[in-house]
Structure 1
Amino acid sequence: MMNKIFVFILFTLVNVYACAQDTIRISDFGLKPDTHENAVQIVQKALAFAKIKPGAILVFPKGRYDFWPQYATEKMYYESNTDVIPLRRCAILLEDLKNLTIDCKGSDFVFHDRIQPFTIDKSQNISIKNVNIDWDIPLTAQAEILDVTDKYIDIAINVLESPYTIENGKLVFIGEGWKSRWHGEMEFERETKFIASQTGDWGCLGDGSQNYKAENLKYGVVRLNYAFKRKPAKGNYLVLRHSARDHAGTFIVDSKNVTIENMNMYHNGGLGILSQYSENLTFKKVNCVPNTNKNRILSGHDDGLHYSNCKGQITVDSCHFLALMDDPINVHGTCVRVMKKKDDRTLLCKFMHDQSIGFIWARSGEKIGFIENEAMNTFGTAIVESFRSTSPELFEIIFQEPVPTTLVEGNALENLTWTPDVEIKNSFFGSNRARGILMSTPGKVVIENNVFESSGSAILIAGDANGWYESGAVTDVLIRNNIFKDPCLTSMYQFCEGIISIYPEIPKADAKKPFHKNIRIENNEFHPFDYPVLYAKSVDGLSFTGNTLIRSYHFKPYHSRKATFTFDACLNIEVANNKFDGEILGKNIKLINTSTKNLKIGKSQGLVLEK
């Protein structure tokens, strides 16, 4: 019996010792919380130590830690959907690391100037958890509307977090090492914190608003002299956009098996978490929201979670998004344009969007699809032999076999290897500029048990090879058990033709060969105040079944589309077993370039068919 007790005690002590050995405390390197000293160099030392201890846990005792550009690693990164700048400042760089957990214990990481909080590069099995990211002086400003007249608007600005000056009659914000002029705005209602209805891309101050002349009534109270064509409401808030999109809140590149949990991304200088050419990404309880402790209305500078050219499994679980200046979630690939056919296996190609260049777009053995531009049909595939960049915008790609003979200059290519499966669940999409979810991937997609209060469309399924060049025809999408509340589609943004908008940018849709496939919308609850609930263009296999529509009267109808359902160039559609509660506007189906033979309407729904 004594031997068993001894063995048990010895086993316990060994495990405790091993756990202690695996834990790295940032305090052991001399960094204490709440000192306001620059943490960058000390964190670099701790990460260097962690590199030789795979499986380590780097722990930050709870408190405030400050990060300044001084001593930050500066690296050249081409970041998707982000301004191109010579070098990115990387405050916390995890490069060539494996099996590392960073546990911040609920700490506040406060950043200064233009900087990228976390960068995860060529790393595997990384976990970051329990951290709040913010700026004392944010890279976006906000103002309370004090007075509104036909000749001017008076606003109040918190000068402690958004110091400013007036230059040549224009409002210019001054930060820690930067200065930038106000160039755009969004209006948020005081009580609800919703984006004001019928503003969005139409604007909340009207055309010509930047012709204002600013004057100080006193420092912190500014009069904007101009006969604004649209007047915001007194007491509401303006989020004043002014700076460039140049650093992500977290940048994940060429990495795999990354988990982020319990992160409050209160602010950043661009996209919230940008994942690029990475695989198997899990984000749980990641919240891109305003810091209410600072009375903030603003949150992130642009998108919340942005996935560009990823693969494997993407999981978003129990996340919150509010007051972002762009879409909470965007999943897409990158199409490129064929500029020249050098021979039957060699193409010269170009990145077409100026914020998405310089990527290693393909690797040997990867599968590439060839896309014609008008109907955006894929007319062939081939396997890559080699890839060579000739400039940030141009590259040469050689295939193992001849390219299709029908390929011509101006066609597009899509990398079919970098296409993820996506699961988005148990999350809240509040009032953010633009849409809720943008989805463009041929992988398996499940969107379930979420709540949407999006300013524009709640879900946009897009894809194009002509404008944004964000690729990804969907082939397997399930949208189920979600609640779409009445703030959805209260304002207009690009491609917002329904609460769910399936709108690929196709110049000439081919009704015989649609772009998207296999989309099921099941057992959801909609609260429409206006006509358009579902708009679908170029889909083969679309079902809208078992959903409940409940009429709302909280907002005034305004949308130009006067049909509950619109199907354009679609095949194999089913609308069945849906419930309609209240005086649903339209309660109709509009067919465009779509045969009635391809539409199955269930009984007892009271729907009117229009051709």
Structure 2
Amino acid sequence: MRNRFFSCLTLMLVALKAVAAATIVSVNSFGLKPDSRVNATPYVMKALQECKKHPEAVLTFDKGRYDFWEAHATERKYYESNTYDDRNPKVLAILLDEMQGVTLDGQGSEFIMHGQIQPVTLHRCKNITLRNFSIDWEVPLTAQGKVLNSTPRYMDVEIDREQYPYIIENNLLTFVGEGWKSVCWSIMQFEPDTRFVCYNTGDNLGWGKRYHAQELKKGVVRLTEPGEGETAPFPAAGTMLVLRHNNRDHAGMFFFHSEGVKLENINIYHTGGLGVLCQYSKELSFNRVNLVPNEAKKRVLSGHDDGLHIMGCSGKVTVDGCRFAGLMDDPINIHGTCSRIIKVLSPTRVQCRFIQSMSVGMEWGRPGEKAGFIDNKTMRTVGTSTVSRFEAINLTDFIVDFSEPIPAGIQEGNVLENLTCAPDAEIRNCHFGSCRARGLLVSTPGKVVVEDNIFESSGSAILIAGDANDWFESGAVKDVLIRRNEFRYPCNSSLYQFCEAVISIYPEIPEPDVRYPFHRNIRIEENTFHLFDYPILYARSVDGLTFLDNKLIRNTTYQPYHYRKEGITLEYCRNVRIGRSQVEGDVLGSKVKLDHTARGSVKFIKEPFFKITK
């Protein structure tokens, strides 16, 4: 007992010493007042310069509202993953540039953005903590409306012109903001009560510029589908609409080559692109970081695209107690980026190209990192080597030198994968609410644990993908545990790309070969599925897949609609175990379909429900 007392006392003294050592730098001491609506950007820049003088500085804001405009903001070129470069250089509201040990504590403040601006950027920083603030826009870069009246030919939409200013230009619904103007190009439908994406609607109002807009009165716009005899799938009166118009040209937060970043107690109510983009960074922690609609403003929309986007990172990514809803893409996406080999220059040198348009300009690798050489047709990694030099030729092409000879048979069209930029990930206690697409996307060979989460995804709850021919998002998994999660009935209630089942393991392989499985060692155990439709699990090219001790409960909120009529589909798989399922109600998907999967590769363990279909 005495030793325990002295241990606790020692820890308290260490903590007090750390607090005493920290220097408090108040933004408000530089003359900035909360709720003043003045441009906070130059004041924060001065305060950050002061923080550079003090190790372990804590930058604080008196609680209140702070507004950030583009004037006086830093401009810097960044080629951000999965982001368009329509606006480059990016405009940076809060920039931490090569800083260490700094904590930014908003103390419950609201950070309100104006225009096309990137709220928070970390550039080559280390041991940074961001906490206790929210991010929103005065004029959001996505809009919202409500259907007042609906017919087979048109719908009348009510739009709050104060929050979402618009004009009708060339018969198109055009939203206008602080220094920008953009045309509505897609519409998502949400249930007014549950705030779920409407059942089986998905992207079916992605009209582009084909509709005709007419203002009936202030704040009410009629949208008419053109063409003789066409019938548009107009939503019912009362449906909430997210009116998409902006391009994803910057992130809400961007972490570039930064290490030891912690986010705590942050609400991101809106972004113009990806929510938090982490690029070539390591050791990342997200605790109670919520990317959700601002309920005080009666919104169903939140971010324009993904929530947490982790590309080319390493170390460990921890996501705990976070919430996601109303996003226009996936809440979490963890992956690397493949590049195509366009020329073999020597036994140790290749010229490569970024093929995907939202990858150009990036820094693919650094000396000492390990590269994998992939046959793009079979997706088989045929060998590895160590990078000795990276040289960018232009925004799309680059040259990589290796310390060892490249594998025999590598040729033009094959791809390179950076195997060093592949983090471990732990995702726990999160709520994946209804967003436009899927829930969790994970493509990394690191150790992945997905535990004790709730999924209400419009598309597949979990997607394990990987490809070298389309999105070029790399990362064959080697160790994934999906355990004690609850998959509720909205999961997979609309079709998007890769949504083959509630859990979809879908690498894009032009010429799959069961001898060369892409993914390995995926365990799906002790989860609860509330199922209104047939497909529960779809798996392609997996060696070592278990589906054990899961509870399957029939839900009748929606009608079955999916084209797959099997509960489990196995394509080009081996070493599969299915067993001990607990079933409540008339669950539909009892069939197991084998496609290029040997019957002897599938073992049932005390399984009362699933049976292989003929």
TM-score range (shorter-chain normalised) is: over 0.9
**Length-normalised TM-score, structure 2:** 0.95
How many angstroms does 1:194 deviate by?
A: 0.7
| Equivalence map 1:368-387=2 (5 Å) | 368-387=371-390
Q: Distance in 2 between matches of 1:246 and 1:438?
A: 21
Cα distance in 1, alignment partners of residues 47 and 148 from structure 2: 49
Count of aligned residue pairs for this structure pair: 598
Q: Distance in 2 between matches of 1:174 and 1:126?
A: 36
Q: Take 2:17 and 2:421, find their aligned partners in 1: how far apart are those partners? A: 42
Change (3 A) 1:43 1:228: farther
Correspondence for 2:8: none
Measure, in 1, the Cα distance between the counterparts of 2:175 and 2:550.
Answer: 48
User: Aligned-pair distance for 1:604?
Assistant: 4.4
Deviation of 1:26 (Å): 1.0
Partner Cα distance (1:86, 1:298) in 2: 26
Is the counterpart of residue 68 in structure 1 residue 69 in structure 2?
A: yes
Partner of 2:160: 158
Q: CA deviation at 1:18?
A: 7.2
CA displacement at 1:607 relative to structure 2 = 2.3
SS, match of residue 109 in structure 1: strand
Q: How does 1:27-426 map to 2 (within 5 A)?
A: 27-84=28-85, 85-201=87-203, 203=204, 205=205, 210-226=209-225, 228-426=231-429
Query: Which whole-Å deviations, capped at 9, do the CAs of 1:482-505 have from their partners, x for residues lacking one?
Result: 000000000000001010000000
Which is worse superposed, 550-559 or 212-221?
212-221
How far apart are the structure 1 equivalents of 2:20 and 2:46?
21
Name the CA distance, whole Å, in 2 between partners of 1:228 and 1:287.
39
Amino acid at match of 1:605: P
SS in 2 for 1:28: helix
Deviates more, 1:594-603 or 1:468-477: 594-603
Tell me how far apart the structure 2 counterparts of residues 505 and 459 of structure 1 sit (CA, whole Å): 16
Cα distance in 2 for partners of 1:79, 1:604 equals 47
Q: Deviations over 1:187-221 (max 9, x none)?
A: 001111110111113x1x4x757422211111211
- Aligned pairs for 1:454-533 within 5 A: 454-533=457-536
Deviation per CA, 1:71-124, whole angstroms, max 9, x where unpaired?
100000000000013200000000110000011011000000000000001000
In 2, distance between residues paired with 1:20 and 1:501? 50
1:604/1:280 Cα in 2 relative to 1: closer, same or farther (>3 Å)? closer
Contact (CA 8 Å) 1:281, 1:314: kept in 2 or not? yes
1:91–1:117: 8 Å Cα contact kept in structure 2?
Answer: yes
Closer, same or farther: CA 387–578 of 1 in aligned 2, 3 Å:
same
User: What is the distance in 2 between the residues matched to 1:209 and 1:228?
Assistant: 16
Identical columns (%): 51
How far 1:21 sits from its partner (Å)?
Answer: 6.3
Residue 179 of structure 1 deviates from its aligned partner by 0.4
Question: CA–CA distance in 1 between the matches of 2:609 and 2:114?
Answer: 58
Q: TM-score, normalised by structure 1?
A: 0.96
The verdict on how the C-alpha distance between 1:481 and 1:16 changes in structure 2, with shifts beyond 3 A counting, is: closer
Per-residue CA deviations over 1:40-83 (Å, capped at 9, x if unaligned) read: 00100000110111101111010000000001000000000000
* Cα pair distance change 1:604/1:502, threshold 3 Å: closer
Q: Distance in 2 between matches of 1:228 and 1:355?
A: 35
- Asked whether the equivalents of residues 22 and 58 of structure 2 are also in contact (C-alpha less than 8 Å), the reply is no
Check the 8 A contact 1:365/1:385 in 2, yes or no: yes
What is the rounded CA distance, in whole Å, between the counterparts of 1:342 and 1:225 in structure 2?
A: 56
- Any idea what SS the aligned residue of 2:586 has? coil
SS across alignment from 2:110: strand
Supply the distance in 2 between the matched residues of 1:463 and 1:527 (Cα, whole angstroms): 27
Q: Give the secondary-structure state (helix, strand or coil) at the position aligned to 1:246.
A: coil
**Is residue 209–residue 228 contact of structure 1 (8 Å, CA) maintained in 2?**
no
| CA root-mean-square deviation | 1.6
Compared with structure 1, are the counterparts of its residues 502 and 18 closer, same or farther at alpha carbon in structure 2 (3 Å cutoff)? closer
Q: 2-side partners of 1:477 and 1:20: how far apart?
A: 41
Deviates more, 1:148-157 or 1:105-114: 148-157
Q: Deviation digits for residues 388-447 of structure 1, max 9, x if unmatched?
A: 000010001111121112101100000101100000000000110110000000000000
Q: Offset of 1:586 from its aligned partner?
A: 3.1
| CA–CA separation in structure 2 for the residues paired with 1:338 and 1:514 | 22
CA distance in 2: counterparts of 1:288 and 1:334, whole angstroms: 24
| Distance in structure 2 (CA, Å) of the matches to 1:360 and 1:52 | 31
Unaligned runs of 5+ in 1: 1-10
| 1:437 aligns with one of 430, 437, 440 | 440
Q: Tell me which moved more, 142-151 or 471-480.
A: 142-151
For 1:3, the equivalent position in structure 2 comes to none
Deviation at 1:242, TM superposition (A): 0.2
Contact map agreement 2:271 2:304 (CA 8 A) in 1: yes
Q: Is the 8 A contact 1:278 1:310 kept in 2?
A: yes
Determine the C-alpha separation between the residues in 1 that align with 2:218 and 2:20. Answer: 55
Secondary structure of the residue aligned to 2:361 is: coil
Task: In structure 2, list runs of 5 or more residues that go unmatched.
Answer: 1-11
Counterpart-to-counterpart distance in 1, 2:269 and 2:231: 31
- Separation in 2 of the partners of 1:222 and 1:143? 10
Matching residue's letter, 2:299: R
1:556 aligns with 2:547: no
Q: State the 1:583 CA deviation.
A: 0.8
Distance 1:151 1:544 in 2: 47
